[in-house]
């Protein structure tokens, strides 16, 4: 494990496992790099260099008052690639991390990037607007902010239910997995958690998606209760020149069980292609 220091002095924590072509993972809100541990180990065991960072304000990275915005998140990710001098990197982003990856390409291009994987990712735009009627209404995100503000410990516990689809009749989500979600969520700073809601919900990534010029694999569950597929992958895939979409029937937002196993196999296949 290591750290880099950004231009504004923020320390960003990252994991760096294995050797080979780099695969860089960006996590969802309100989690941290640990959310990708299974995939980090998987790709490292298959001959890749697996890297994942804690977004500023999250996990073991610094919690600055300023910079909790998508442009800065993207610049931090680009800074990680530059600091480690990564070449031909594959970027993998989940949820908010997908937005971070897409905005990083929009601002910094694909000079160091060979492929992109977007899992349950927020682009092109989560918020419902006149031009994006499939999105979620503003009060859905107001409820998230209120949960973070009022009693975040209980809020994160309850959020793990729709995150993993534990409210579905056939779900088999373990208490341990929900506890791990809570533990990671409690490591994000209160200010960063609150600010990040606006960033993943109101940022329009349409122009960033159009700038992606490398093969891109969209993966999304059609029972995703956090980032509904209708306003996300089903629209975003048409904005990227060389993109494919795989829909996982009945799958939730968070990876676990058979859904995780199927995604892991698809990830390895895409990396090798």
Catalytic residue numbers? 95, 224, 253
Residue labelled with tokens 């294995």 = 18
User: Residue 244 corresponds to which tokens in the numbers above?
Assistant: 């494919």
204: burial class by Cβ within 10 Å (0-12, 13-18, 19+)?
middle
- Please give the Cα distance from 37 to 35 (Å, whole number): 6
Residue 127 DSSP one-character state = B
User: Residue 27 corresponds to which tokens in the numbers above?
Assistant: 């996590």
Q: How far is CA 72 from CA 21, 191, 199, 204, in A?
A: 26, 15, 11, 15
User: Residue 166 corresponds to which tokens in the numbers above?
Assistant: 């534990």
Closest CA to 24 of 122, 108, 96, 101: 101
């Amino acid at each position: 494990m290591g750290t880099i220091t950004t231009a504004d002095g923020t320390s960003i924590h990252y994991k760096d496992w294995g050797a080979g072509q780099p695969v860089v993972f960006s996590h969802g809100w309100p989690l941290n790099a640990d959310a990708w541990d299974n995939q980090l180990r998987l790709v490292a065991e298959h001959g890749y260099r697996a890297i994942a960072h804690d977004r500023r304000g999250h996990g073991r990275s610094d919690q600055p008052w300023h910079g909790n915005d998508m442009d800065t998140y993207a610049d931090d990710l680009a800074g990680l690639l530059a600091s480690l001098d990564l070449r031909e990197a594959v970027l993998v982003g989940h949820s908010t991390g997908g937005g971070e990856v897409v905005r990083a390409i929009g601002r910094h291009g694909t000079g160091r990037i060979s492929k992109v994987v977007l899992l349950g990712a927020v682009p092109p735009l989560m918020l419902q607007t006149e031009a994006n009627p499939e999105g979620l209404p503003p009060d859905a995100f107001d409820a998230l902010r209120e949960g973070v503000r009022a009693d975040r410990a209980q809020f994160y516990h309850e959020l793990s239910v729709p995150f993993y689809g534990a409210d579905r009749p056939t779900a088999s989500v373990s208490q341990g997995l929900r506890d791990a979600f809570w533990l990671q969520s409690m490591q994000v700073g209160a200010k960063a958690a609150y600010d990040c809601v606006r960033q993943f919900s109101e940022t329009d990534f349409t122009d960033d998606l159009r700038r992606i010029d490398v093969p891109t694999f969209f993966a999304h569950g059609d029972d995703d209760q956090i980032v509904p597929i209708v306003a996300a992958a089903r629209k975003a895939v048409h904005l990227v020149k060389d993109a494919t979409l795989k829909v996982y029937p009945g799958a939730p937002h968070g990876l676990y069980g058979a859904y995780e196993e199927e995604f892991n196999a698809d990830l390895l296949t895409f990396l090798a292609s």
